[in-house]
């Protein structure tokens, strides 16, 4: 029995391998190999601005014992989580309306509109936000005209989150929309027939049925925000710095690629952990499910 199972496990379909090989080669050449190089680089040393292949843990010791690293780590983690949460909450009513209430033509138009922001460079969109959020920007001018007290929005974490949302909100809406579109309408109808109110139907039928897509959408928002450099620099004023800013700082001040590699490896490990958590939440067995 055991031998048979082993035999089965070793059987490889050459046709499947042939089709999968370009993707595997691509991943190997452009993800695994650079990742290996990055890890190796984190153990190199630096002398007079020159990188020396080495095996020293000094870079890890230096970075992991600095308060500014852990402050940046905590800030990046929190602000990315907030972005994922806010994006999900804003996106859900829109996606719900488009999936369940809107006509097919409206839905198609909305999908088109959600894709169009990607026609413009993200950097340009962020620069546009600086004009809106600046002290003398459009938002404050409007606020002043309406008699509100103005606030300094640029160079704040709020501005950074606005930038992150610019990047990920259309994507989150689209993923949620596709997830909600796949929810079995009979289940929703059955809930209504059994006397379930609209809110309860959403909470107990729609959300569990679309769980995978909703979690994946939030995970995308988190991943995009976690690694973004543009928004925290141009809207957040690098204050406080995120991990991506820390990477640039390490290379710009002293050419310290090995320390930048340490920060990058920590970021990748964090993202892998978050992704595993998200997948577990998306595909894990529900409490009480058979």
**In this chain, which of 163, 170, 213, 241 binds other proteins, going by CB under 8 A?**
241
Nearer to other proteins, 254 or 277 (CB): 254
Q: Counting contacts by CB under 8 A, is residue 15 touching other proteins? A: no
CB neighbour list of residue 274: distance below 8 Å, 6 or more residues apart: 219, 222, 223, 226
Q: Counting contacts by CB under 8 A, is residue 37 touching other proteins? A: yes
**In this chain, which of 152, 190, 198, 204 binds other proteins, going by CB under 8 A?**
152
Q: How far apart are CA 87 and CA 51, in angstroms?
A: 41
Q: Are 131 and 138 in contact (CB under 8 A)?
A: yes
Which 171-230 residues touch other proteins, going by CB under 8 A?
A: none
**In this chain, which of 198, 254, 277, 284 binds other proteins, going by CB under 8 A?**
254
Q: Are 223 and 147 in contact (CB under 8 A)?
A: no
How crowded is residue 261: how many other Cβ atoms within 10 Å of its Cβ?
A: 24
Percentages helix, strand, coil for the chain (3-state, rounded to 5) are: 75, 0, 20
| Residues touching other proteins, count (CB under 8 A) | 38
Nearer to other proteins, 29 or 280 (CB): 29
Gap between the terminal Cα atoms of the chain: 28
**In this chain, which of 39, 81, 134, 282 binds other proteins, going by CB under 8 A?**
134
Q: Counting contacts by CB under 8 A, is residue 255 touching other proteins? A: yes
Q: Are 277 and 106 in contact (CB under 8 A)?
A: no
Nearer to other proteins, 228 or 249 (CB): 249
Q: Counting contacts by CB under 8 A, is residue 149 touching other proteins? A: no
Residue carrying the six token digits 């984190």 = 42
Which 257-286 residues touch other proteins, going by CB under 8 A?
A: 257
Nearer to other proteins, 24 or 33 (CB): 33
Structure tokens at 113: 């509109």
**DSSP characters for 92-134?**
HHHHHIIIIIS-HHHHHHHHHHHHGGGGS-HHHHHHHHHHHHS
Q: Counting contacts by CB under 8 A, is residue 135 touching other proteins? A: yes
Q: Which stretch binds other proteins (CB under 8 A): 4-12, 102-110, 127-135, 165-173?
A: 127-135
Q: Which stretch binds other proteins (CB under 8 A): 13-21, 46-54, 100-108, 272-280?
A: 46-54
CA quadruple 247, 252, 253, 259: dihedral positive or negative?
positive
Q: What residues make contact with other proteins under the rule CB under 8 A?
A: 33-34, 37, 41, 48-51, 53, 66-68, 71-72, 130, 134-137, 152, 154-155, 233-234, 236-241, 246, 249, 251-255, 257
């Amino acid at each position: 029995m055991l031998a048979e199972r082993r035999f089965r496990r070793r059987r490889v379909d050459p046709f499947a391998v042939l089709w999968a090989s370009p993707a595997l080669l691509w991943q190997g050449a452009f993800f695994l190999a650079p990742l290996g190089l990055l890890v190796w680089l984190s153990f190199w040393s630096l002398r007079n601005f020159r990188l020396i292949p080495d095996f020293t843990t000094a870079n890890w010791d230096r970075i992991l014992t600095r308060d500014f690293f852990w402050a940046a780590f905590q800030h990046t983690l929190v602000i990315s989580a907030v972005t994922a949460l806010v994006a999900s909450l804003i996106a859900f009513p829109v996606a719900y309306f488009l999936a369940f209430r809107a006509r097919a033509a409206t839905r198609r138009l909305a999908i088109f509109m959600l894709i169009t922001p990607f026609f413009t460079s993200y950097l340009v969109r962020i620069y546009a936000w600086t004009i809106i959020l600046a002290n003398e920007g459009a938002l404050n001018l409007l606020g002043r005209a309406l008699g509100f007290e103005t606030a300094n929005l640029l160079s704040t974490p709020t501005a950074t989150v606005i930038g992150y949302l610019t990047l990920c909100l259309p994507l989150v809406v689209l993923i949620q929309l596709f997830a909600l579109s796949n929810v079995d309408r009979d289940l929703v109808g059955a809930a209504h027939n059994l006397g379930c109110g609209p809110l309860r139907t959403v909470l107990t039928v729609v959300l569990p049925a679309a769980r995978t897509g909703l979690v994946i959408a939030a995970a995308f928002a988190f991943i995009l925000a976690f690694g973004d450099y543009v928004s925290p620099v141009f809207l957040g004023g690098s204050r406080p710095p995120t991990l991506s800013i820390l990477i640039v700082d390490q290379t710009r001040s002293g050419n310290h690629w090995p320390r930048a590699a340490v920060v990058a490896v920590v970021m990748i490990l964090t993202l892998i952990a978050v992704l595993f958590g998200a997948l577990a939440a998306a595909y894990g067995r529900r409490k009480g499910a058979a």
